[in-house]
Structure 1
């Protein structure tokens, strides 16, 4: 198992600690997420690696309670009660010359950055899958009036955790191969 250092309240954890202790959080308090915190999460997302000359992503920050309440109708994985105070819809811009798979990889990296940044800032978050399920893709595209060249990839719900699951050591030696299978 890994060791988590004791940190003073309010300090930001280091990258390895964030990776090793992050868990999906699906229960939030009703406390809102500050706009500057949402901006920090989006800035972290945009630091993700991507292929090509243009980033493959667009984001929709959602804090309108009426819109947040409508999301579970298009995604069974986003049925969080009460609705989270914030969600970020990560979308792939397919208008660039790179192919869909490369754009999706960049959006996956951006989504992971949101999750890690949220955890480092003391928030809870969960990645709810949209792509490649055609019904969810269509549902989110319609709900958010996305252009045809924009693919809804993932929805990250965010908030101040009502409960935080403990870290789990997922390292498995049987999944590691040295130099060949």
Structure 2
């Protein structure tokens, strides 16, 4: 798929078929996530791939906007090992870049995705860390729910020229 087609047609997909997400596709998504830029090339990220039905079904009890996990076949929780970051606080940006790469790769493979934020909601972060048994010093940043879409990818033009300023405001 053309890069710009993927960019312009990527949508939050919340309705999935019951088809499994192939392990090879999950690896492709994780490789794309790890190709993201990071401050000082620290690459502080870790990823928890979730495919067990019991874990997917438990997530909506942690995240109020993640009900789609009940029908999804996979999810990835993007985390940061805080000791790996070179510039304190940049782990949030690093993980956001990895999350976006993962979602664009999913679109390129025809896999639906939706980003459910964990950071900065401390109660969600703590609960997700407990569910996934994250070690001390690893912070969950984002939940990306994945599956084969049961809805269309639609192109929506969100370009707003009035939001562009040149050489100053």
Query: Of residues 46, 55, 58 in structure 2, which corresponds to 1:67?
Result: 55
2:84 maps to which residue?
96
Is contact 2:42–2:86 with CA below 8 Å preserved after alignment? no
1:158 maps to which residue?
146
Is contact 1:130–1:153 with CA below 8 Å preserved after alignment? yes
Specify whether residues 19 and 69 from structure 1 end up closer, same or farther in structure 2 by C-alpha distance, changes over 3 A only.
Answer: same
1:8 maps to which residue?
none
Return the TM-score normalized by structure 1: 0.89
Q: Distance in 1 between matches of 2:87 and 2:72?
A: 33
Q: Distance in 2 between matches of 1:84 and 1:101?
A: 31
Unaligned runs of 5+ in 2: none
Q: Distance in 2 between matches of 1:81 and 1:58?
A: 20
- Give the deviation of 1:27 after TM superposition: 0.4
Is contact 2:56–2:70 with CA below 8 Å preserved after alignment? no
Give me the CA root mean square deviation: 1.2
Is contact 2:56–2:69 with CA below 8 Å preserved after alignment? no
Q: Which protein has the larger Cα radius of gyration, Structure 1 or Structure 2? A: 1
Query: Of residues 10, 13, 31 in structure 2, which corresponds to 1:43?
Result: 31
Structural mapping, 1:26-175, within 5 Å: 26-80=14-68, 82-175=70-163
Query: As a proportion of its length, which structure holds more helix?
Result: 2
